[in-house]
Amino acid sequence: MGSLEMAAAQVLRGPMDNWGESGTGLVGTSPITDTSTDFENDERNHNNLVGHQQGAQPYMDLSIITNEKTGDHRTLKRLAQNREAAKKSRLRKKAYVQQLENSRVKLIQLEQELQRARQQGIFIASGMAGENGYSTGGNGALVFDMEYARWLDEHQRHISDLRSALNAQMGDEDLRVLVDAIMMHYDELFRLKSIGTKSDVFHILSGMWTSPAERFFMWIGGFRSSELLKVLVAQLEPLTDQQLMGICNLQQSSQQAEDALSQGMEALQQSLAETLASACLGPSASSDNVSNYMGQMAIAMSKLSTLENFLRQADLLRQQTLQQMHRILTTRQAARALLVISDYFARLRALSSLWLARPRE
């Protein structure tokens, strides 16, 4: 019995030792027969299979790790791009808010300038403001721009009311009230321009208070009456023969007046240029040369003062053209004509905005 127990212990100890070495678990064997050769072969094949699998595993893990690293890199890059885009967006928003704040401050400053100008009587049509309600203070151009902007806002409200009335088929009597209000509002514009001309004739003449596209078509500080009538004729059809003849005569007379004023402006420019050319001090600033220089400059100033008359006559021509047009047309036609005029200048302002906002290479 002792030898039999030792043999059984030897058989059982062999598989346990092999299990501990291979790490693959206990392999079942028969406790009765000796299968050492088959057992060793099975163990060798099993170890080779396990070894092969264990050798292939690191390659598969490396591929997965590489893909994971690539995915992580792309994710990090995308997050970095998102952070950069968010940063730029915040900077743009901050710049936009700062621009709005600067505009608000400038508007407040302009309002303060206007208030001071009113208090000083620079641009108020009152007895304290001088003859005809104007003054030659240095803020005249600034105040005129402010007054014109307010006039334009009010004018757009008048036009909006008139457009609504036409769309609603309002009666002629009610329509006439709106038309007359707009005509009086145009009279207010010419009054403002007359005051502004006395304050700064070059500012009114240059048209810097209008949009760039309006300045492109400007003639002596405003629109050409003859050109405006051409626009109206095409938009107001049908017209009676008498109305058509009246508008054609008005257009012809306006063209003649414009030609006369243009020739007068050219003559003034030529005369002023000749006067300034002769007002040269020369190589030596002697008393005679200085006296001649001052005399010529005084003559030039006198000639330049006639520039205000040309501007006033051009505005008077524009005002009279509108009034004559109002008389020729019926109330409903006059209402449509005022809308056509307003829409024409609105398109010029829109064109200016598009031009200034165009992409630049």
Measured between its terminal Cα atoms, the distance across the chain in Å is 107
b/e sequence 200-229, b meaning 16+ C-beta within 10 Å:
bbebbbebebbbebbeebebbbbbbbbebb
**Considering only CA atoms, which of 38, 341, 75 is closest in space to residue 185?**
341
Q: What is the pTM of this model?
A: 0.61
- What CA–CA distances, in Å, run from 266 to 4, 39, 91? 141, 123, 53
| pLDDT per position as a tens digit, 78-97 | 888 888 888 888 888 888 78
pLDDT-above-70 percentage for the chain: 69
- What CA–CA distances, in Å, run from 1 to 4, 31, 34, 177, 198? 5, 16, 18, 137, 142
Q: Which structure tokens are listed for 277?
A: 């050319």
| pLDDT per position as a tens digit, 200-244 | 999 999 999 999 999 999 999 999 999 999 988 888 878 899 999
Q: How far apart are CA 224 and CA 226, in angstroms?
A: 6
Can you tell me whether residue 237 is helix, strand or coil? coil
| Cβ neighbours for 51, distance < 8 A, ≥ 6 positions apart | none
pLDDT at position 119 is 53
Q: How far apart are CA 137 and CA 157, in angstroms?
A: 31
- Mean pLDDT within 167-185: 94
DSSP notation for 259-299: HHHHHHHHHHHHHHHHHHHH----SS--HHHHHHHHHHHHH
Rg of the chain on CA atoms, in Å: 47
76 pLDDT band, cuts 50/70/90, is confident
